[in-house]
Structure 1
Amino acid sequence: MEPSLHRLRLLHELERRGTVTSVAAGLGYTVSAVSQQLSLLEREAGTPLFEKRGRGLALTEAGLVLAEHARTILSAVEDAGHAMESARAGVGTTLTAGVWASVATTLLPAGIAILSRDHPGIVVRSRELAPEDTTGAVRDGSLDLSFVLDYSSYAMADVPDLVRLPIAQETLHAVVPRGSMPSAQVSLSDLAGAPWVIAHPRSHFGRAVRIACRDAGFEPEVRHEAGEQSTALALVAAGLGVTLASDLGLSTFPADVDVLPLTDGLTRTVSITHRRRDARRRPLQAFVAAFTAAAREVGLDPPGGV
């Protein structure tokens, strides 16, 4: 039996994700294409690898055995690639990074400029994802690395297989319609009676803001849910509520808003995460160094605000 690496990867993903539909969605294939490749793998194995369970597929004992070997084989192939990458000292290396909108518009261009200057052989590709979706994509190998966030009111859970390297700290500011607040700074409790524009509570940002408001003694009345900070700022400019925004999110903002310091001292830490087993990859180390420098260049504080 000489199964292709591609089919072994699909088997590995099926074991990890649980359904053919999830495998197809995660890897960008159609469900029928994944099913066809898994059927070919089963034919190559000469023994049943899958069994129907409800509306999905479960691995048989033989399927589980092959999936375990698939993990070992795929890991060895990846290690070989990284070894060759190190031998080339980064020449011709491509890194795929997960970003979100405010990183993509401000930090990404500055970081790539530094990386291109210092390590011209490293090419960066970016993929925009919601911050809460990035760690899963790094863990399963869809991304080499990603930017992630920890809020002072709500920290992300540690992922054992991943390393998180803080590169900057952002301050969160209150954003209100122009002239609506008489003071030069506010607390969250000063905004308790206002309608709010924030992200869905399933998002890290939406959850962090709600937790901070509750800690300040009130439940925000969310009038408008907006995932992108630029959208939230536009709604505030139209007089439809108040919001919070980070330093990166305020790289551009409408004229019809006031940005006020928060006395509550809310912050969020920007980190780069990658798989622990990739820690010795020189291109990853170069990426982290370049974007740490880029964070200072665009005016962000170092981690901890030191």
Structure 2
Amino acid sequence: MLDLERLRALHSVATYGSVSAAADVLHVTTSAVSQQLAKLERETGQKLLERNGRGVRLTDAAELLVAHAERILSLVEQAQADLEAHRGSVVGQLSIAAFPTAVRGLMPAALRRLGAEHPDLRVQLREEDPMQSMPLVSRGDLDLAIAQDWNNEPLPLPEGLRKGVICDDVADVALPSVHPLAHRDAVELKELAGDPWISSSPDSICCDWLLRTLRAIDSEPRIAHMAYEFATQLALVGAGLGNAILPRLGRCDVPPGVAIVPLAEPLTRRVYALWREEAARRPAIRAAVTALRAAAPPDVPVPAMAGTATMAS
């Protein structure tokens, strides 16, 4: 009989590329992973790892076993989800990763609600960009990822994941209060062509999106400064150093010298929760999505389509 934890150790080595990386993910020592693999080799009568320079590589037998382990671990997760659904209780542990503005704008209220309504649920939150968090959900290292896409740039859904809509987040433009258009009721983005802009850091989704959005109106972006935090971007706008496009969910207190002006053609990003198909029946997943929708601020609408039915989509 193959031991499940030994299969999990081998699967982690295959997924993360080394014994030490697998140990980090499994929260054990490298020695513990090596011992599990040695026992699995004795159990199967097959050599599973070979030296490859300073690292290791999987043998053909290990590759075969990993393919089965992936299916076995998926079935175990599905069984656990079905048992939780049968019991109907929101219990256990739930790991969530969210991008920075969702951490600030949604998670405090959502976590407070989950704690009050489901005291037997333990939630662990981490701040993570969706490009990093979605693969972690796919691999089973996270239960939920909070991700986003824009109405002019849809989010590709990785295979094996499902999503539920949390809210729609409208973006406004932040202008220096001395800008000629600062006191308008609304502004066309093309009216700002040629202006200097404040952007997120160059390795972020937001920076890439801003560049593509401005180029779509035939305006080659003039990125004057880059800052990861929206509060810092607003401070730079207030100093007259450029404009910024800021979603309402991520907006902090607006400092003096900044005018927030709606866009005549709104730019909207949709915020999603993503989870694995195998975990779709977990009451904890449903409870978290419900709490996140309830946490949306009044100026960040929850679409009508974001009802319970979307949990199955």
How far apart are the structure 2 equivalents of 1:169 and 1:160?
23
Corresponding residue of 2:205: 204
Q: How does 1:3-152 map to 2 (within 5 A)?
A: 3=3, 5=5, 7-19=6-18, 23=22, 38=37, 41-42=40-41, 45-53=44-52, 56-152=55-151
Cα RMSD between the aligned structures?
3.0
Aligned equivalent of 1:235: 236
Q: Residue type matched to 1:222 in 2? A: I
Counterpart of 1:67, as a letter, is: V
Greater shift in the superposed pair: 178-187 or 244-253: 178-187
- Number of the residue aligned with 1:170: 169
AA aligned to 2:60 is E
3-state SS of 1:264 partner: strand
TM-score of the superposed pair, with normalisation by structure 2: 0.83
Moved more, 22-31 or 218-227: 22-31
CA shift digits 1:180-231 (9 cap, x unpaired):
2334132222322222221245422112111110111112122222233233
The amino acid across from 1:205 in the alignment is C
User: What's the % identity of the aligned pairs?
Assistant: 36
Q: Is the 8 Å Cα contact of residues 91 and 284 (structure 2) preserved in structure 1? A: no
Q: Output aligned runs, 1:146-161, within 5 Å.
A: 146-161=145-160
Residue type of the partner of 2:236? L
Q: Which moved more, 1:77-86 or 1:157-166?
A: 77-86
Q: Which runs of 5+ in 2 are unaligned?
A: 307-313
Counterpart of 2:237 in structure 1: which amino acid?
V
CA contact (8 A) 2:77 2:279 kept: no
Q: Distance in 1 between matches of 2:227 and 2:64?
A: 46
Structure 2: how far apart are the matches of 1:194 and 1:33? 57
Distance 1:110 1:238 in 2: 32
The total of aligned residue pairs comes to: 304
Tell me: CA distance 1:305–1:282, structure 2 relative to 1, closer, same or farther (3 Å): closer
Report what 2:303 is aligned to.
Answer: 303
Contact map agreement 2:187 2:264 (CA 8 A) in 1: yes
1:178 and 1:189, CA in 2 relative to 1: closer, same or farther beyond 3 A?
A: same
Cα distance, 1:157 vs. partner? 1.1
In the other structure, the counterpart of 1:266 is 267
TM normalised by structure 1 equals 0.85
For residues 106-159 of structure 1, the C-alpha deviation after alignment (integer angstroms, 9 at most, x for no partner) is 211222333344444333221111132121111111211121101112222121
Aligned mates of 2:83, 2:301 — CA distance in 1: 36
Going from structure 1 to structure 2, the CA distance change for 1:208 and 1:25 (only over 3 Å counts) comes to farther
